[in-house]
């Protein structure tokens, strides 16, 4: 089978790159292992939230020249970064994902533990605030689903109380959740969202919330609504006579999954082929060119392409692999930027920056992978597979995925 | 004795020795106070193999310890059956070992009263498929595994049921002394900073390696030998039978299955006394444990490592042995009046987890002698709470109406005490920790009945966060329950941070492969999504 581009990995960067390529007439195949970082996202995207000293960034584009030379944004380039940030909202809207926020200026979001964090663009579940002091209202009713432990109302209430919001906690019990509850491990965000997707269930829940509502001007709900259809969120907002604010839950992330499936649909609607639950197990190379790959599920079928995009993520996505001796890239055996000594991989403080988050595939200035010191002609690396950034401390994971996804598509289109 | 701060005996140390001594003294009718500066089982009690020694390991080199072990082994199987897993154990001879040692080993076991049966290597492989298939000899002994957290908590609970008072997070700052007599202790509450004084005719130093410091507060030098032992926990229970090497005790030659995991250990290195509070496992120790562990069970090479940890053996030394391997694991019970001229003060140290009950008996005997109390020890024949009625199966049957997974986990951990776990309300059945199947009801019971002040305490009582995900999902849920129980979210949030750091401490020495993946995921969840 012959394609123009084979994309390895099915997360945010790969989908953005694949949709862009497919819409410009390239025939694409995407090989996805299954879950990816979107399934565990907060529902908000970060471009650059923090400086190395931990202070919050207000205008990410103004900080680009301060980033280290091997940072993915430096490889995308300042001019392209300015162009791309304004392309993000229309791009996602064309895939059915409405994003809020100012592309050139950070806002804040309320986290599930009652703190605030800088955010760039966010899905419609997430409410963005202009100020780091959350100003959601005067009095809040925090309404949970009875027996649901992944929405930490105590932390949330305490955080809001500190910001001057009086909180009242309530839990709504619905018979529709009895079955989930008797199987004790089923009370998780996605399972709840599946039940809530039924019109009669979320409507009943909203009715109960309205009964509980006294003089509060804000109702805080967990992000467990609209797994497949984000319009439910709007309907809920219209049905409750107070401002409705959704707050994230423990993973998996309902808005993240909704976004992933919308992007996947957009990719397929544009004509892209998507291999779900598969992985590349071997490749054929000629010098600095990859000729073809094979996957676990397709067996002997040879997947040829002019270009290959590697977007398999960091360690969690298995884009990088660590043994006690070394860090490596398992698909093509590409060069990896990582120290040999494993004591230099981690920091003993869990909450301190971790060196391993900066590890990644070594690429040239134009995102082409390096192998044995030589630049590969037709392999592009995007997303968290790239080294040089501590996406976690910077708050730049989604931004790197989207920016490098756009960039690689342009490189391939020439 | 009407003063609430006056007792017959004060016990310093909330490890298994202190808990056992408190139980023994309380069962003999004494008014007991136990003081622990952290939580129960934070020292060597919670940092060992969890091996129910048959004594075979010491049969050749340390007959006294071997005999003590097998006697206590038989007793614990009766009084603490809910803490014991009767796995049995192998001592295997590999091609590089001297098979002639086997005969001497078996002979020494039998002389110490330890059953030791030579079995055919093929039969050994059949019974324990994970064992190194190149073995040339195997001996079967009555080893098992024991949950030290559960055992310690059960002793503490029984002490309290017999009237003992337990103060955790309380540190002894100094002794109240009159001349050369210890009259009691001055303490500080670690959480509030509040100071207090408690008096008793006898004070028992059961602080393990930290007993060195406690003794020095009374002007006494015990001469402890801090011997660090590092261990690795694997994410699967790869073996169902304990595997030992049939040779003189050495590094990393015991693989113990425990609950859902297995543990390889140990190393033995003398460490400076000042470092006992800050044990870190080094890369060299990890490499050594892996290399030697794979010789017992080759599958370990490809098994995910959950975490690394280290404890400090409270050995008492006289000679100059650089590793401490040759020091007797025997019990040291010191009456400081006889030894040092300090009245009203007893130290109980040396020994092992395995012999804690005997240590407690000897300490309680010494206390009773000083108090002129004529009561015999009953701890060898009185079951602990959890093992009081019937078998684990019988307990499970009583809990027939709860989900079977929760039933097994709860009954396995708590024995008949599991009846106290609320299961009436559907909310109680929600799982906090999926890996270890800990329900809301069980966590709330622990918070209510078992002196739980923070997440790490809760982990020691219930295994929350000890499973394959290393607390990535459950910590936040459990923190929510604690915030509710203690009515303070600020404290619970700080506690959650401490707990994640404590979990990471065991992960970073082995941060590669699946452990690094899990670590990266957990960091994303807690830092980026939850915003901690």
- Give the pLDDT confidence score for residue B321 in this predicted structure: 60
Structural contact between residues A206 and B451, judged by C-beta atoms closer than 8 angstroms: no
> Which tokens hold the place of B2?
């009407």
Residues A216, A138, single domain; the answer is yes
Q: Which residues of B touch A117 (CB under 8 A)?
A: 528, 531
Residue A121 lies in a domain: no
Distinct helix (H) and strand (E) counts, chain A:
12, 22
CB contact under 8 A, A184 and B521: no
- Domain of residue A60, residue span: 2-102+263-413
Distance CA B110, CA B114 (A): 5
Q: Does residue A174 share a domain with residue A146?
A: yes
Sorted by where each starts, the structural domains of chain B and their CATH numbers stand as: 6-44+149-223+329-371 (3.50.50.60), 84-146+225-316 (3.30.9.10), 392-529 (no CATH)
Taking CB atoms and an 8 Å limit, are A350 and B286 in contact across chains? no
Using the 8-state DSSP alphabet, how is residue A270 labeled? T
Q: How far apart are CA A270 and CA B143, in angstroms?
A: 65
Alpha helix ranges (H) inside A35-125: 72-76, 78-85, 88-94
Subunit contact A113:B531, Cβ cutoff 8 A = yes
- Which of chain A's residues have a Cβ under 8 Å away from the Cβ of B505? 348
Among the partner-chain residues B406, B528, B529, the one whose CB lies closest to the CB of A184 is B406
Using one digit for the tens of pLDDT, what is the confidence trace for B128-175?
999 999 999 999 999 999 999 999 999 999 999 999 999 999 999 999
In a domain, A113, yes or no: no
- Is residue A108 in some structural domain? no
Place of tokens 């409405």: A98
- pLDDT surpassing 50 at residue A396: yes
- Identify whether A307 is part of a domain: yes
Is A26 part of any domain? yes
With an 8 Å Cβ cutoff, are A152 and B480 in contact?
A: yes
Q: Dihedral angle at the C-alpha atoms of A77, A78, A82, A88, nearest 10 degrees? A: 30
Do A317 and A211 lie in one domain? The reply is no
pLDDT digits (tens, 9 = 90+) for A240-272: 999 999 999 988 999 999 999 999 999 999 999
- What pLDDT is recorded for position B438? 87
Q: Within this chain, do residues A143 and A187 fall inside the same structural domain, yes or no?
A: yes
Contact A183 B479 (CB under 8 A): no
User: Are the beta carbons of B477 and A149 separated by less than 8 Å?
Assistant: yes
Give the minimum alpha-carbon distance from B465 to chain A in angstroms, rounded to a whole number: 15
Question: For B182, what's the count of Cα atoms within 13 Å in the CB-facing half-sphere?
Answer: 35
Size of interface A-B (CB pairs under 8 A): 155
Task: Say whether B484 and A154 touch across the interface (CB within 8 A).
Answer: yes
Give contacts of A36 with chain B, Cβ < 8 Å: none
Calculate mean pLDDT across residues A158-175.
Answer: 91
For residue A367, the domain's CATH number is 3.50.50.60
Counting the structural domains of chain A, the total is 2
Contact between chains at A322 and B516 (C-beta distance less than 8 A): yes
Spell out which residues of chain B touch residue A189, defining contact as CB-CB under 8 Å.
none
Are A230 and A281 within one domain?
no
Work out the average pLDDT over B384-395: 74
Note whether B283 contacts A152, CB cutoff 8 Å. no
CA distance A186 to chain B (A): 8
What's the N-to-C CA distance of chain A in angstroms? 23
How far does B439 lie from chain A, in Å, by closest CA? 8
Asked whether residue A48 falls in the same domain as residue A154, the answer is no
State how far Cα A188 lies from the chain centre.
Answer: 19
Strand pairing class (B224-234; B305-316): antiparallel
pLDDT above 90 covers a percentage of chain A that reads: 85
Measured between CA atoms, the residue of chain B closest to residue A42 is B529
Q: What pLDDT score was predicted for residue B165? A: 95
Helix (H, G, I), strand (E, B) or coil at B44: helix
Does A150 sit within 8 Å of B476, measured CB to CB? yes
Mean pLDDT of B487-510: 90
Min Cα distance B353 → chain A (Å) is 29
DSSP state letters, A365-402 = TTSEEEETTEEEEEEEE-GGGB-S--HHHHT-HHHHHH
Q: Which residues of B touch A157 (CB under 8 A)?
A: 489
Instruction: State residue B1's pLDDT score.
Output: 43
Given A188, A214, A247, the domain boundary residue is A247
- Which residues 168-207 of B are in CB contact (within 8 Å) with A? none
Among B484, B520, B532, the residue with its CB nearest the CB of A316 is B520
Q: Å from B247 to nearest chain A CA? A: 29
Q: Are residues A404 and A280 in the same domain?
A: yes
Residue A117 belongs to some domain of the structure: no
Instruction: Indicate the range of B150-159, B395-404, B444-453 predicted with least confidence.
Output: B395-404
Contact residues, B window 406-435, toward A, CB-based 8 Å cutoff: 406, 426-427, 429-432, 434
Residue A147 belongs to a domain: yes
**Are A366 and A411 spatial neighbours (Cβ–Cβ below 8 Å)?**
yes
Q: Do A155 and B480 touch (CB under 8 A)?
A: yes
Question: In the predicted model, what is the mean pLDDT of residues A67-71?
Answer: 94
Match 């202790």 to its residue by tokens. Answer: B185
- Note whether B244 and B253 are within 8 A (CB): yes
Q: pTM for the complete prediction?
A: 0.90
Q: Which residues contact A147 (CB under 8 A, 6 or more apart)?
A: A171, A173, A177, A181, A187, B426, B427, B430
- B chain contacts of residue A397, beta-carbon cutoff 8 Å: 528
Output phi, psi for A293, to 5 deg. Answer: -135, 165
Average pLDDT over residues B506-512: 94
Q: Which residue in chain A has the smallest CA separation from B305?
A: A324
pLDDT at position B241 is: 98
- The verdict on B440 touching A (C-beta cutoff 8 Å) is yes
Asked whether the predicted pLDDT for residue B485 surpasses 50, the reply is yes
What pLDDT is recorded for position B381?
A: 96
Find the mean pLDDT for residues B32-48. 95
Distance CA A328, CA A305 (A): 24
Does an H or E element contain B248, and which? none
Mean pLDDT of A317-346: 94
The predicted structure's pLDDT at residue B404:
63
Q: What's the pLDDT score for residue A2?
A: 96
- Looking only at Cα atoms, what is the longest distance across chain B? 67
Please give the pLDDT value at position B527.
86
| Residue positions counted in chain A | 414
- The alpha-carbon radius of gyration of chain B (Å, integer) is 23
Cα gap B299→B87, rounded to integer Å: 19
Domain boundary among A178, A212, A247: A247
Give the burial string for B421-439 (b: 16+ CB within 10 Å, else e). Answer: bebeebbbbbbbbbbbbbb
CB of B286 less than 8 A from some CB of A: yes
Percent of chain A exceeding pLDDT 70 equals 99
How many angstroms separate the CA atoms of B514 and B307, rounded? 11
Residue B348 structure tokens: 């109980």
Answer yes or no: do A280 and A215 share one domain: no
- In DSSP notation, B321-366 reads -SSSTTS---EEEEEHHHHHS-BTEEEEEES-GGGHHHHHHHHHHH
Helix (H, G, I), strand (E, B) or coil at B122: helix
Minimal-distance CA residue of chain A relative to B405: A184
Rounded Cα gap, residues B493 and B389, in angstroms: 39
Contact A250 B504 (CB under 8 A): no
Q: Which residues of chain A neighbour B403 with C-beta distances below 8 Å?
A: 182-184
Disruptive mutation site among A113, A347, A360 for chain B (greatest number of B CBs within 10 Å): A113
Instruction: With cut-offs at 50, 70 and 90, classify the pLDDT of residue B407.
Output: low
Asked whether residue A107 is assigned to any structural domain, the reply reads: no
Distances (CA, A) of B335 to B176, B365, B486: 18, 11, 42
Residue among B287, B489, B504 minimizing CB distance to A155: B489
CB atoms within 10 A of CB A294: 16
Q: Which of B280, B434, B493 sits opposite A113 (nearest CB)?
A: B493
Interface of B with A in 455-494 (CB under 8 A): 473, 476-477, 479-481, 483-484, 489-490, 492-493
Alpha-carbon span B478 to B499, nearest angstrom: 11
Residues A174 and A302 in one domain: no
pLDDT at B466 over 90: no
Q: Are residues A268 and A166 in the same domain?
A: no
Q: Do B528 and A397 touch (CB under 8 A)?
A: yes
Candidate from A82-96, A161-175, B225-239, B459-473 with smallest mean pLDDT:
B459-473
Cβ within 8 Å of residue A358, ≥6 positions away? A337, A387, A388, A389, A390
Q: Which residues pair with B9 in a beta bridge?
A: B32, B202
| Minimum CA–CA partner of B519 in chain A | A316
| CA neighbor of B481 nearest in space, from B525, B442, B524, B532 | B442
* Mean pLDDT along residues B397-422: 67
Contact at CB, A349 and B529, closer than 8 angstroms: no
What's the distance, CA B516 to chain centroid? 27
Compute the radius of gyration of chain A from its Cα atoms: 22
Instruction: State which of A214, A247, A280 marks the end of a domain.
Output: A247
CATH number at residue A173: 3.40.50
If asked whether residues A148 and A42 sit together in one domain, one would say no
Q: Please give, rounded to a whole number of angstroms, the shortest distance from the CA of B503 to a CA of chain A.
A: 9
Report the alpha-carbon distance of residue B417 to residue B387 in Å, rounded.
Answer: 8
Are A171 and A205 found together in one domain? yes
Pick among A120, A184, A322 to test the B interface (most B CBs inside 10 A): A184
The pLDDT score that the predictor gives to residue B86 is 95
Candidate from B429, B477, B508 with C-beta closest to A150: B477
């Amino acid at each position: 089978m012959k394609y123009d581009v084979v994309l390895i990995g099915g997360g945010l960067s790969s989908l953005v790159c694949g949709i862009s390529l497919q819409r410009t007439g390239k025939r694409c195949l995407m090989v996805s292992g299954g879950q990816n970082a979107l399934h565990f996202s907060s529902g908000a995207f970060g471009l650059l939230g923090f400086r190395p000293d931990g202070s919050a960034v207000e205008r990410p584009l103004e900080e680009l020249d301060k980033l280290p030379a091997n940072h993915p944004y430096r490889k995308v380039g300042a001019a392209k970064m300015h162009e791309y940030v304004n392309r993000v909202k229309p791009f996602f809207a064309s895939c059915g994902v409405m994003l809020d926020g100012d592309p050139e200026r950070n806002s804040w979001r309320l986290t599930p533990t009652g703190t605030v964090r800088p955010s760039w663009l966010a899905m419609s579940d997430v409410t963005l605030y202009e100020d780091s002091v959350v100003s959601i209202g005067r009095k809040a009713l925090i309404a949970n689903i009875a027996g649901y432990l992944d929405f930490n109302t105590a932390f949330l209430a305490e955080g809001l109380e500190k910001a001057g919001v009086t909180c009242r906690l309530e839990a709504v019990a619905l018979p529709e959740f009895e079955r989930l509850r008797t199987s004790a491990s089923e009370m998780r965000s996605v399972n709840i969202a599946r039940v809530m997707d039924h019109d009669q269930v979320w409507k009943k829940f909203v009715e109960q919330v309205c009964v509980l509502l006294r003089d509060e001007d804000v109702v805080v709900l967990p992000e467990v609504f609209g797994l497949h259809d984000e319009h439910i969120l709007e309907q809920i907002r219209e049905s409750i006579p107070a401002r409705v604010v959704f707050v994230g839950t423990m993973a998996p992330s309902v808005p993240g999954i909704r976004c992933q499936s919308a992007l996947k649909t957009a990719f397929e609607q544009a004509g892209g082929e998507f291999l779900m639950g598969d992985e590349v197990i071997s490749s054929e190379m000629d010098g600095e060119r990859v000729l073809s790959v094979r996957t676990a599920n397709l067996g002997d079928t040879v997947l040829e392409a002019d270009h290959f995009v590697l977007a398999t993520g960091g360690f969690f996505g298995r884009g990088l692999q660590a043994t006690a001796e070394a860090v490596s890239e398992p698909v093509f055996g590409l060069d990896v930027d990582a120290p040999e000594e494993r004591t230099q991989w981690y920091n003993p403080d869990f909450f301190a920056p971790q060196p391993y988050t900066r590890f990644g595939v070594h690429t040239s200035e134009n995102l082409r992978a390096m192998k044995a010191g030589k630049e590969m002609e037709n392999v592009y690396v995007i997303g968290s597979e790239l080294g040089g950034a501590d996406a976690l401390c910077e708050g730049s994971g989604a931004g790197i995925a989207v920016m490098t996804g756009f960039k690689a598509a342009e490189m391939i289109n020439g | 004795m009407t003063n609430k701060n006056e007792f017959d005996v004060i016990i310093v140390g909330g490890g298994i020795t202190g808990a056992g001594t408190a139980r023994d003294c309380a069962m003999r009718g004494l008014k007991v106070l136990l003081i622990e500066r952290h939580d129960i089982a934070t020292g060597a009690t919670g940092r060992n193999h969890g091996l129910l020694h048959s004594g075979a390991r010491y049969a050749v080199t340390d007959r006294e310890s071997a005999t003590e072990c097998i006697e206590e082994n038989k007793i614990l199987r009766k009084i603490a059956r809910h803490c014991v897993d009767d796995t049995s154990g192998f001592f295997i001879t590999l091609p590089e070992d001297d098979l002639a040692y086997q005969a001497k080993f078996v002979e020494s076991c039998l002389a110490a009263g330890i059953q030791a049966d030579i079995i055919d290597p093929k039969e050994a492989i059949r019974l324990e498929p994970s064992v190194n298939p190149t073995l040339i000899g195997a001996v079967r002994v009555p080893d098992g595994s024991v949950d030290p957290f559960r055992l310690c908590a059960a002793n503490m609970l029984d002490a309290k049921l017999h009237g003992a008072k337990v103060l955790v997070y309380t540190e002894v700052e100094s002794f109240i002394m009159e001349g050369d007599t210890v009259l009691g202790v001055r303490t500080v509450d670690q959480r509030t900073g509040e100071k207090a004084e408690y008096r008793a005719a006898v004070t028992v130093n059961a602080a393990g390696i930290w007993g060195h410091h406690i003794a020095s507060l009374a002007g006494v030098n015990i001469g402890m030998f801090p011997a660090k032992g590092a261990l690795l926990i694997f994410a699967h229970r790869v073996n169902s039978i304990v595997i030992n090497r049939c040779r003189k005790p050495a590094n990393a030659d015991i693989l113990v299955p425990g609950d859902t995991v297995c543990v390889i250990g140990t190393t033995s290195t003398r460490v400076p006394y000042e470092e006992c509070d800050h044990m870190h496992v080094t890369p060299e120790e990890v490499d050594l444990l892996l290399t030697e562990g794979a010789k017992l069970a080759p599958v370990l090479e490809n098994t995910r490592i959950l975490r690394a940890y280290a404890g400090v053996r409270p050995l008492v030394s006289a000679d100059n042995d650089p590793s401490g391997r040759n020091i007797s694991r025997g019990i040291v019970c010191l009456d400081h009046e006889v030894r040092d001229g300090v009245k009203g003060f007893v130290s109980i140290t040396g020994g092992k987890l395995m012999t804690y009950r005997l240590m407690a008996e000897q300490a309680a005997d010494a206390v009773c002698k000083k108090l002129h109390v004529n009561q015999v020890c009953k701890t060898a024949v009185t079951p602990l709470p959890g093992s009081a009625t019937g078998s684990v199966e019988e307990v499970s049957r009583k809990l027939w109406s709860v989900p079977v997974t929760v039933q097994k986990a709860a009954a396995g951990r708590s024995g008949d005490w599991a009846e106290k776990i609320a299961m009436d309300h559907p909310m109680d059945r929600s799982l906090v920790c999926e890996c270890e199947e800990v329900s809301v009801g069980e966590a709330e019971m622990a918070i209510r009945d078992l002196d739980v002040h923070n997440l790490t305490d809760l982990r020691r009582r219930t295994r929350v966060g000890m499973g394959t995900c290393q607390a990535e999902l459950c910590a936040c849920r459990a923190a929510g329950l604690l915030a509710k129980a203690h009515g303070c979210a600020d404290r619970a949030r700080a506690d959650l941070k401490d707990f994640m750091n404590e979990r990471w401490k065991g992960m970073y020495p082995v941060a590669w492969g699946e452990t690094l993946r899990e670590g990266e995921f957990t960091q994303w969840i807690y830092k980026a999504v939850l915003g901690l």
